[in-house]
A and B are shown apart, each in its own frame.
Chain A
Amino acid sequence: MTKELYYSSINELNELYINKKTSPTEVTKVFLERIKKHDSDLNSFINVYENDAIEDAKEAEKYISNKNENKLIGIPIGLKDLVDVKGKITTAGSKILEGNIADKNAKITEDFINSKSVILGKTNLVEFAFGTLGINTTTKTCRNPWNMAKVPGGSSSGSAVSVSSGLTTFAIGTDTGGSVRMPASLCGITGFKPTYGAVSRVGVKDLSWTMDHVGPMARSAEDCLEVMKVISGHDARDKYSIDLSKDRFNIEKSIDREKIKIGIPKQYFFDDVDSQILNRVNKSIEIFKDLGYKLVEVDLPFVSSGRNINVGVLIPEAISIHRQFLKKSELYTKTVINRLLGGIGVTADEYLDASRAMSAFNYQMSAKMKDIDALLTPTVPVIAPNIEDSYDPNTLEANSMGRFTGVFNLTGQPSISIPCGLTNENLPVGLMISGKLKEDNKILNIAIDFQNNTDFNNSIPKF
């Protein structure tokens, strides 16, 4: 019974609550016990709000009803420690923000409070979300529950690890070049980056205002969809917010597969990829074919420049945001200060060039996407390296991890990473599905269909 609870889906827990088989308080206690038992090894939480969580769970019990469409009542959640919770410290995983108490809730925090979700605490991350592997020497690097010697991926490392190891039902991450999808891939969970602007960034610490996205991380695409129902919607305080309203997120009972055209890129996404990753992704492509989806090869000759443009826009924005802190360079972790300092000296001309190249890139991608509904690719090209080999900021893995994910931060397209198998060393492999702008619901439903017909997302790490 206990095992079922901590790996249960949002809908399963909701049903158990309605049928009075368990309660939010009981479930919250199970998670808090597990955090106590396992998190001194995993390091997935920076702060745990034990008393508040119990109080919130008791409060949530008053709202359980089969008439309530909100499925997040009494569901435990972890928030990446970039997300403000009023009266609590937001550290961004950095010594620089030690003691930084938020005076307001982030918009998504308000959404979760209004939904009567139970915030268990703040999850670990790469300092200021600026890294791909999950290394953080200030907060202690999270351990990948599939192999404790391996990196969990970053930057939403703690969110991925806590979901993967059954320390929370779902978590929130942020994604500037792949920081939801990369750790989701490495930790064997599902991570969804919505269309740019679909989730408000208000009260979430910025890394790059052009590239930042906020998204859910869970054990299934269905859970991600349930979270999107609660956190999507226009927010006038976020200049780039779009109106992708909650009623646009629905689980489709049946999918007309033969009408869905899925593109397999001819270039870039299958080059220089680890052979085991390639093998698992290719097998998944076959599964899509067998399910009846229409698969076509897509010519994307321009796409190899995407990651460079993503980085070219991101770096000067990150430096601008960090200008106030750079004089305290000794307080940063080595890997992050290295990246920030490596970017000093970028000129206004170069930033504008990168921003205009972004538009040219997006114009081409937009034209290609007119004929197809989704692209299938690997999430990352490399297998998780050992933590002890990953402190140098310029390793091959650090530099290549975001090669595929960053393309969709540039375009702003919805993009999801779902598990698609394990390597011979028992490490998870991720498959990325990316769709047209604002077609988040379609991408989530394609992922749900795949997960309903396979068992990859039910694999559980032994730690």
Chain B
Amino acid sequence: MQDNSSEKELFKKLLENKNIKLSEKDFNQSYMTYLNFRKIYSSIKEHKFDNFEPRQRNFGE
């Protein structure tokens, strides 16, 4: 993960690209959620799933 200031800039750009303007308070709350989600995707990367295709539930039981 990038350092916090560049993460924040990236998030700002993502919002700008979608023409979304937020108050400072709303921006900070959304940014906190964004960071939580970034942590989730970092943790998912650590899983071993090389032998699996997406979204399987039934394994023939």
Contact indicator B37/A346 (Cβ below 8 Å): yes
Contacts A354-B44, A356-B53 known; A362 to B37 CB distance under 8 Å? no
Contact indicator B32/A394 (Cβ below 8 Å): yes
Number of residues on chain B facing chain A (CB within 8 A): 35
A336 to chain B, nearest CB (A): 11
Contact indicator A342/B61 (Cβ below 8 Å): no
With most chain A CB atoms within 10 A of its CB, the pick from B22, B32, B57, B58 is B57
Residue in contact with B56 in the complex, picked from A308, A345, A358, CB distance below 8 Å? A358
B17 to chain A, nearest CB (A): 9
Question: Is B36 positioned at the interface, with any CB of A under 8 Å from its CB?
Answer: yes
Question: Is A251 positioned at the interface, with any CB of B under 8 Å from its CB?
Answer: no
Contact indicator B29/A344 (Cβ below 8 Å): no
Contact indicator A312/B55 (Cβ below 8 Å): no
Quick check: which of A69-77, A185-193, A363-371, A373-381 contacts chain B, the rest being far away?
Answer: A363-371
Chain A residues near B30 (CB-CB < 8 A): 337-338, 341-342
Contact indicator B45/A345 (Cβ below 8 Å): no
Chain B residues near A282 (CB-CB < 8 A): none
Q: How far is the CA of A399 from the CA of B14 in the complex (A)?
A: 24
Chain B residues near A312 (CB-CB < 8 A): 40-41, 44
Contact indicator B26/A359 (Cβ below 8 Å): no
Residue in contact with B34 in the complex, picked from A313, A334, A341, A359, CB distance below 8 Å? A341
Chain B residues near A412 (CB-CB < 8 A): 57
Chain A residues near B51 (CB-CB < 8 A): 360
Interface string of A226-270 (1 = CB under 8 A from B): 000000000000000000000000000000000000000000000
A66 to chain B, nearest CB (A): 40
- Which 8 A-B residue pairings sit nearest by Cβ, starting from the closest? A342-B33, A355-B54, A359-B52, A359-B56, A356-B49, A360-B49, A341-B30, A366-B59
Name A's B-contacting residues (CB within 8 A).
Answer: 196, 210, 305, 308-309, 311-313, 315, 326-327, 329, 334, 337-339, 341-346, 350, 352-363, 366-367, 369-370, 392-394, 399, 411-412, 436-437
**Given contacts A210-B55, A363-B52, could you give 19 more A-B pairs where the C-beta distance is less than 8 Å?**
A309-B44, A312-B40, A329-B22, A334-B29, A338-B30, A339-B33, A344-B18, A344-B34, A345-B34, A357-B52, A358-B54, A359-B49, A359-B56, A360-B47, A360-B49, A360-B51, A363-B59, A370-B61, A437-B58
